Amino acid sequence: MKKEVLIKKGAEASLYLQNWHNRKVIMKKRLSKKYRIPELDKTIQAQRTKRESQIMHKAKEAGVSTPIVYFVDLQNSTIVMEYIEGKQVKQILNEMSPNERTKIFTCIGELVGKLHAAGIVHGDLTTSNMILTQKGDIVFIDFGLSEQTWEVEARGVDLHLMKRAIMSTHFMYADECFKAVLDGYQKVMGKKAVAEILDKIAEIERRGRYITER
């Protein structure tokens, strides 16, 4: 393997595949923002790098699989983490039977419930950020937009984003998949929490329609 291979360049960070101490790893480097004062930019990047690595650890403690963090370099806003062997749920959804989809999305709902129960909001719940391993485990990746919060608003936004992601990417199965997510979520968070989330999602969608109509 070359020293490092760029596999994804996003708005916030670049991901490189690398061999690090004889391990296949992902190196995530946050990108500087030219519009910020350099000193402030460095501080913000370091804070976000530190927060992301800490939240990934807390997610593990909550029972949600995430990549192992091997090294954090705050000076260069870089995280070296485990490369997860498997496929994005987005890539394999069309190959699944209805029962398999229901099982997978119920499991995803339970994992989201575990995050929220621990006060963690992922911030980018899409099927691109969920890896199905060969052992059948689901690993959540990319906690770059995650935060620690107990607010229903943040949880609602988290699941609303997931609903929109499913509808835009897997529209043929959107209803059954999101229902399975909510079923799994309810197993962890309970009926009251699901009712609150559905109310919040409806409110968010009303806001969106209002802004569009203006």
CA distances from 96 to 33, 103, 145 (A): 41, 10, 29
How does pLDDT run across 100-115, given as a tens digit for each residue? Answer: 999 999 999 999 999 9
What's the mean pLDDT when you consider all of the chain? 93
According to DSSP, residue 120 is labeled E
CA distance 201 to 214: 20
**pLDDT band, very low/low/confident/very high, at 213 (cuts 50, 70, 90):** very low
Q: Do 95 and 63 belong together in one domain?
A: no
Coil, strand or helix: which one is 203?
helix
Other Cβ atoms closer than 10 A to 10: 12
- Residue range 33-37: mean pLDDT, rounded: 85
Q: Do 120 and 43 share a domain, yes or no?
A: no
Residues whose CB is less than 8 angstroms from the CB of residue 40 and which lie 6 or more positions away in sequence, other chains included: none
Let me know whether 66 and 126 are in one domain. Answer: no
Report the distance separating Cα 117 and Cα 60, nearest Å.
13
For residues 63 and 41, membership in a common domain is answered with yes
Model confidence at 203, pLDDT cuts 50, 70, 90, reads very high
Whether 92 and 77 share a structural domain: no
**pLDDT average, residue stretch 121-139:** 96
Domain ranges, residue 139: 87-213
CATH number of the domain encompassing residue 16: 3.30.200.20
Q: How confident is the model at residue 52 (pLDDT cuts 50, 70, 90)?
A: very high
Which one of 47, 82, 117 terminates a domain? 82
Q: Are 67 and 137 in contact (CB under 8 A)?
A: no
* Counted domains in the chain: 2
Mean pLDDT of 127-156: 96
Q: What is the pLDDT of residue 212?
A: 44
Claim to verify: residue 209 and residue 132 sit in the same structural domain: yes
Residue range 69-77: mean pLDDT, rounded: 96
Quickly state the pLDDT bin for 210 (edges 50, 70, 90): very low
Q: Tokens in use for 51?
A: 């927060």
Q: Do 128 and 28 share a structural domain?
A: no
Q: Does residue 200 share a domain with residue 149?
A: yes
Co-location of 78 and 92 in the same domain: no
Provide the token pair at 89. 């749920």
User: pLDDT digit string (tens) for 157-193?
Assistant: 999 999 999 999 888 999 999 999 999 999 999 999 9
Which candidate, 119, 193, 121, places its Cα nearest to that of 150?
119
Residues involved in catalysis: 124
Q: In this model, does residue 38 exceed pLDDT 50?
A: yes
211 pLDDT exceeds 90? no
156's tokens? 């609602």
- Is the same domain home to 77 and 60? yes
Dig out the tokens for 207 from the structure: 């806001």
- Within this chain, do residues 145 and 206 fall inside the same structural domain, yes or no? yes
For residue 203, the domain's CATH number is: 1.10.510.10
Both 34 and 103 in one domain: the answer is no
Mean pLDDT of 84-104: 94
Domain boundary among 82, 110, 125: 82
The beta strand positions in 48-202, using DSSP E, are 69-73, 78-82, 87-88, 120-121, 130-132, 138-140, 147-148
- In sequence order, the 6+-apart residues with CB closer than 8 A to the CB of 98 are 173, 176
Residue finishing a domain among 24, 54, 82:
82
